[in-house]
Amino acid sequence: MSNDQEASVSNIELAADYKGTLGGAVLRHTIIFFVIMFIWEMANRTGFSNPLLLPRPTDIVASIWKIYVTQGNVWYHLWVTFKEAMVGCFIGCVIGIGLAVAAVLSDTFRQFLKPYIIIVEATPRIALGPIFVTWFGFGMSSKVALAALVCFFAPFVNTITGLLGVEEESYELFRSLGATRRQVFWKLMIPTALPTMNAGLKLAVGSAFGGALVAEFISAQAGMGILMARYTMSLNMPSAFAGLLSITLYGFILFRIMEIIDKRVLYWLSDDLMAKKSVKKETKIRGELGL
């Protein structure tokens, strides 16, 4: 167990090779999607599959309309879960990155932290759910705590890996130019670590949602988790599916936002942004020098 891990998100390279135009590809995908949905719907209507278990696509669409527009009750629950997950994610990331930076800066701290990290890694952290509900009560704080606990690990490990992954040669260059410790940290270690750190943050956002949902399953008054649990318990499966689809949708949006941030922050990894940025800096320097 001496090896440590680095968790990272690799982009899905599934859609690499399209033949023909993008429009054609979208059209083909759409046709396949509708064929699948049609078969599903037909299987349901002819009684091959039980609508109680797998509701019809049309029913699901009707339920989406119902919970978003006619009843409009989903907005409140979405907001609750979103708030819990985001606050938890923020706390978890701050703790994770803080611990990681402390561990990188102090060898002694790292040494003593190591066995506890192995234990924390091996424990299914989500299992603390019932204990947290007992500690923090049935309200928002227990969900925030579980989300923070579940998501702190990926940023922690990735920050350590990134910060320690500095090349020996660059470090020597910094040293030979007489950089202070602080300069080495901010100008060398942090920029080197940023891609890995961002990958960790991406993972953290996803797992924070998972943590908040599980805490809600255990006990809650509001939130997507308890909403879906109530719907399935009353066998109102179309509405439950509508809830699940909303979670997927918001997960997707968050994921895209994280990717965009990733691209913006790591501008030196993409040629376009790098060119734009350097032009901007050049004009700024020219302006300052009065050229």
Partner 1 sequence: MSDIGSDGVLAGVKELSPIQKLAMHGLVFLIIFGGWEVGARLGYVNELILPAPTSIAYRLYEMFFVTGSIYWHYIITMYEATMGFIIGVSIGMGLAITAAISPVFRRYWAPYAVVFNVTPGIAVTPFIIAWFGFGWSSKIALAALVCFFPPFINTLTGLLHIDKDATELFRSLGSTKKQFFWKCQIPSALPIIIAGLKLAMTGALIGTIVAQFFSASEGVGILMQRFAFRLNMDGSFAALIVMSLMGLSLFTLMEYMDYKVLYWRRHSRMEEVGSKRKRKWLAENGDFSA
- Under rule CB under 8 A, which residues in 156-195 are in contact with partner 1? 160-161, 164
Residues 115-128 as b/e (b if ≥16 CB within 10 A, e otherwise) read: eebeeeeeeebbeb
Q: Which of 20, 21, 46, 53 binds partner 1 (CB under 8 A)?
A: 53
- Under rule CB under 8 A, which residues in 8-47 are in contact with partner 1? 8-10, 12-18, 25, 28-29, 32
Query: Is the Cβ–Cβ distance between 204 and 94 less than 8 Å?
Result: no
Q: Which of 97, 197, 229, 242 binds partner 1 (CB under 8 A)?
A: 229
Q: Is 244 in the site for partner 1 (CB under 8 A)?
A: yes
Local structure of 47: helix, strand or coil: coil
d(CA 33, CA 219): 36
Supply the DSSP symbol for 291. -
Instruction: Specify the residue, 1 or 177, whose C-beta has the smaller distance to partner 1.
Output: 1
Shortest separation between residue 176's beta carbon and partner 1, angstroms:
22
d(CA 145, CA 29): 41
- Under rule CB under 8 A, which residues in 119-158 are in contact with partner 1? 119, 121-124, 126-131, 133-135
Q: How many CB atoms lie within 10 A of CB 140?
A: 20
Shortest separation between residue 10's beta carbon and partner 1, angstroms:
5
Q: Which of 87, 218, 220, 242 binds partner 1 (CB under 8 A)?
A: 218
- Under rule CB under 8 A, which residues in 196-215 are in contact with partner 1? 203, 206-207, 209-210, 213-214
Say what the alpha-carbon torsion angle 220, 223, 229, 235 is, to the nearest 10 degrees: 130
Shortest separation between residue 277's beta carbon and partner 1, angstroms:
29
Amino acid at site 53? L
